[in-house]
Amino acid sequence: MSDSSASPSKLRTLAEIERAVSRQALDAQVRMLPYALAFFGLCLPIFAATAAYAPNAVQLLISLGVYGFNWAVFYGIVDWLKRDPEAAGELKRRTAMQIGGGLLWAIAVLETSYFALAAGPLAETLLVLCAGAAAGVIFFSSPSLPSLLLVGPIAAAGPIIGLRSNPETAWTGLLVLCGSALALALALILNRHLREHFMLNLERDGLIEDRERALKEAHRLAKSKSDIVATLSHEIRNGLSGVAHVLAGALGAGSRGAPSREQLKAALHAARDLVDVLDATLDSETADTGRLVVTARPVDADRLVQDMVLLHRQTASARGLELVAQVEPAAMQGAVMADSARLRQILNNLVGNAVKYTLRGRIEVRALLAAPDRIRFEVADTGPGLSADELALAFEPFTRVSRTGAGTPGAGLGLSLSRSLASLMGGVLSAESAPGVGSRFQVELPFDSNASAPAEPATEAPMETSAPALRVLVAEDDTLNAAMLRAVLEQLGHRVLLAQDGRRALELLKVTEVDLVMLDGRMPVMDGVACARAIRALDGERGRLPVVAVIGGDLEEAQDMTNAGCDAVLRKPVTVSAVARAVADAASADRRRDDAHRAVA
């Protein structure tokens, strides 16, 4: 009977609230059952003692048997409610059962009234006693309005009709009629009061649930922050220490020799590991708070698998591992319906883990149809494998399996984040593993055999472009971020002009010819949102320049920059491929805007 305590926080419609109140009313009737039985247990001896002097006393004993039968039925109902809570949760069935039980008592009063009619001089007294029993039925039916309106009048009808049918007791019958009407009216008032009480119960339970939910959320956030601090402090301390030692070694403790390629490569790998840890942490927190948004679009499964293999083949070969791709022909006849970037993130994490933890053997990346409308990506390796307990632990955030993860960098978030991303895209991430044999991770996602994926470049593939060099105005107040962005843009062949805030960017824009503007979202003096709006307010071609927002990863900041007129959003820390893609997207939006302007002109 726990359904009766459903709180308003879980109830979305008036119908659901009404059902919850009705359940509480039925529960109240059940709780009143012992008192009802005690009431009739006290009344029956009085009735029996009076009926003993009636000429048909033996026949009136039948009434005692009927009441005994009712006791048995009601205890049966209570036992049913205790033994079968799921059936008891069916409101219509339960209401019918309890109304049926109440009708048994009402019929018992009618039957007793019928036998009282032949009691001679004691008929009036016995019918008045029956009227008292009817009043008791009305009272104990009051919590449930359907039961009260049906059972109460039937119980009162017997003694009223019996008294009114005899001219000598007609006046008494009128008094009993008025008393029964008054009892029914008071019962209706009690029902109304109980209903308000039930609503207060629902509100109280809702407040308790909200408080418990808030406490759980507070504990979760506190634990999450503690895990983040512990993980980041460990990984960043170790990573930065590694970078510092490698760079110190490259400098040779003051020597003038140039650092070797191996030393620089080691420092670069350590820095990239730090970026991966930070990215996974930020994405995990964004997913946990429900602010991570995915957009399902057609994705080519074959191209995606080939990209993943190409991306990790060099690392796998360096470790002596064979990395191969297998794509079922049926999986090529259509497209995966998923967010391309997030799906790549999942597979990149799975393949990266396989390469990282497999010491020898083979890694296979497969794509096959699990059903006509479902596709499954599999990453199978011959690594150390995991036991069932270790596999469950591997999916816990900020947790790593010590047997296999010792000595390897990471935040322990890859699998838990990948599972969250798969769920957001309507998919499922699962795994099978055996110690000493290997592991197989599977991602199952929606598939549309009629969809066609658009052409897109491979992730992180070397980008060769014949696009003309652009004059790019970069507004960034952070010196390090500005230097990184400038280096990437110049690597892509563009010329860069720097401004430290939005106001300076606007001043330069008015006196310098540029082809593209890149704005940091948060700057002093004039932030990116205000600067983007000011650019769009300019006349002529300057107001239609392509604008790229460069943000720190906050979803609200991205939305604000887009609403202000930015054509593309670039998330820090930047990469060469991400900058090239953002520039291309912004240039494409600029061409569409120019076409629309010429069409209007």
pLDDT in tens, 327-343: 998 888 889 998 887 78
pLDDT value at residue 398:
58
pLDDT value at residue 345:
79
pLDDT value at residue 269:
58
Measure CA of the first residue to CA of the last residue in the chain; give whole Å: 71
Residue 453 confidence (pLDDT) above 80: no
pLDDT value at residue 385:
84
pLDDT 10s digits, 171-181: 988 998 998 89
> Is the torsion defined by CA of 348, 354, 356, 360 positive or negative?
negative
Mean predicted confidence (pLDDT) in 453-476: 63
Query: Which of the four pLDDT bands, split at 50, 70 and 90, describes residue 8?
Result: very low
pLDDT 10s digits, 243-290: 665 566 556 544 455 556 665 665 665 566 566 556 655 555 555 555
What is the value of pTM for the model shown? 0.42
pLDDT value at residue 363:
92
pLDDT 10s digits, 108-147: 888 778 877 777 788 788 888 888 888 888 888 888 888 8
Q: State whether residue 326 is helix, strand or coil.
A: strand
The two tokens of residue 64 are 């005692």
pLDDT value at residue 446:
92
pLDDT value at residue 186:
92
Rounded Cα gap, residues 223 and 238, in angstroms: 22
Q: How many Å separate Cα 226 from the centre of its chain? A: 23
pLDDT value at residue 343:
84
pLDDT value at residue 460:
42
**pLDDT > 90 in the chain, percent:** 8
Query: Which of the four pLDDT bands, split at 50, 70 and 90, describes residue 6?
Result: very low
pLDDT value at residue 365:
92
Q: Burial, 507: exposed, middle or buried (Cβ in 10 Å; 0-12, 13-18, 19+)?
A: exposed
Residue 393 confidence (pLDDT) above 90: no
Architecture of domain 297-448: 2-Layer Sandwich (3.30)
Q: How confident is the prediction for the chain on average, in pLDDT?
A: 77
Residue 424 confidence (pLDDT) above 50: yes
What single-letter amino acid sits at 123?
Answer: A
Rounded Cα gap, residues 340 and 328, in angstroms: 20
pLDDT value at residue 364:
92
Q: Is the CB of residue 41 less than 8 Å from the CB of residue 100?
A: no
* 90 phi/psi in degrees, rounded to 5: -75, 110
Q: Which fold does the domain 471-600 belong to in CATH?
A: Rossmann fold (3.40.50)
DSSP secondary-structure letter at 120?
A: G
